[in-house]
Amino acid sequence: MIGKRLKHLLKENGFDYERDKLVDELGLNRSTLQKYINDVRRPTLESIRDIAKHFNTSVDYLVGHSEYVLDTWDHKFLEEFFQYSSDKIKNHFEKRYTIDISDETIPSKLLFGILEAIFQDEFDKSLEDLSIKEREDRKKIYEVIITIFHRVVTLAKSEEKKDELEALLKRLTESTNGEYSFRNTITLEEIEGKTHKTRKEKIKLLKSYIGINVANGQKALRMLEELSEDD
């Protein structure tokens, strides 16, 4: 087991054990390392600890008690992990999708990667499968979602805003079910003032707004009738 895990770590870190030596770091020569890899010889507990430390993994992973290479969980580890992951995501977006997210913060870069994975799973299409315009459109969607996420985190900093978060979740659920529209609510306020929208666009938005509110009004009437029957 140790040999298989050690070989994996060497490969992932770009180490060619056929040519290189770990003498400087671990005091191992190629012959000893080869015996460890082939499970001909088992390293001492001290050597296992040194190897684990060198490759930023755990003793449990090396001896087969854990399936996770990265098995540390503390603030410093998370900082390093997030930095490493954000760099990888940035490079991936640049090389594969020709999308530059280098100006984004580390958390935002991570969220870009997470959103891309989720969207691939949901729509069975990666950014690579889209046209240039479609990529830009999806990038804008990611940016909006990430901005909303950061706003929600800011909202969550205040204990007094807990009700606001619950109300937001309720509205999001209603919007998903077609019972509420953030767009129409905001647009109604815009229409009352000066806006760049055409007369035709305003009529369409107002009809949509009325439709949703009629549906909600009918629901409210049904609930009122049910409550009245209980009296």
User: pLDDT digit string (tens) for 90-123?
Assistant: 999 999 899 999 999 999 999 999 999 999 999 9
Query: What is the structure's pLDDT at 198?
Result: 80
> Bridge-partner residues for 28, per DSSP?
22
pLDDT at 32: 86
Q: Which residues of the chain have pLDDT under 70?
A: 17-24, 71-74, 184-190, 193-195, 230-231
Same domain for 145 and 89: yes
Tell me: do 97 and 146 sit in the same domain.
yes
41 and 114 together in one domain = no
Query: Does 200 fall in a domain?
Result: yes
| Domain span at 17 | 2-62
193 and 144 part of one domain:
no
- pLDDT score for 206: 79
| pLDDT in the model for residue 208 | 77
Burial class (CB in 10 A: 0-12, 13-18, 19+), 182: exposed
Could you tell me which residues come within 8 angstroms of residue 72 by beta carbon, excluding any fewer than 6 positions away?
A: 56, 58
Q: Tell me if 90 sits within 8 A of 118, measured CB to CB.
A: no
pLDDT of residue 230: 65
216 domain-assigned: yes
Question: Which tokens go with 69?
Answer: 């290479």
Let me know the angle formed at the C-alpha of 90 by 123 and 128, rounded to the nearest 5 degrees.
35
Q: How many CB atoms lie within 10 A of CB 106?
A: 15
- Shared-domain flag, residues 82 and 149: yes
Domain annotation covers residue 190: yes
Centroid of chain to Cα 72: 20
Q: Is the dihedral of CA 124, 127, 132, 134 positive or negative?
A: positive
Domain co-membership, 55 together with 88: no
Say if residue 197 is in the same domain as residue 151.
Answer: no
pLDDT at residue 12 in the model: 79
Give pLDDT, residue 18.
64
- Is residue 38 located within the same domain as residue 112? no
Q: Tell me whether residue 163 is in a domain.
A: no
Note the helical H segments in the chain: 2-12, 23-26, 30-37, 45-54, 59-62, 75-97, 106-123, 132-156, 162-176, 182-192, 199-230
- Please count the other Cβ atoms lying within 10 Å of the Cβ belonging to residue 31: 9
User: At which residue do the structure tokens 């992951």 appear?
Assistant: 85
CATH number, residue 32: 1.10.260.40
Q: How many helices (H) and strands (E) does the chain have?
A: 11, 0
Same domain, yes or no: 184 and 153 = no
Where do we find the tokens 């684990």?
52
48 and 99, same domain (yes or no): no
Measured CA to CA, the distance from residue 212 to residue 107 in angstroms comes to: 36
Q: Hey, what are 56's tokens?
A: 């930023």
Q: 79 with 143, same domain?
A: yes
- Token pair, residue 83, equals 């930095």
In a domain, 69, yes or no: no
91 lies in the same domain as 153: yes
Single residue among 29, 62, 95 that ends a domain in this structure: 62
Last residue of a domain, one of 157, 186, 220: 157
Judge whether 192 and 205 are in contact, CB under 8 Å: no
| Number of independent structural domains in the chain | 3
Q: Kindly state whether residue 13 falls inside one of the protein's structural domains.
A: yes
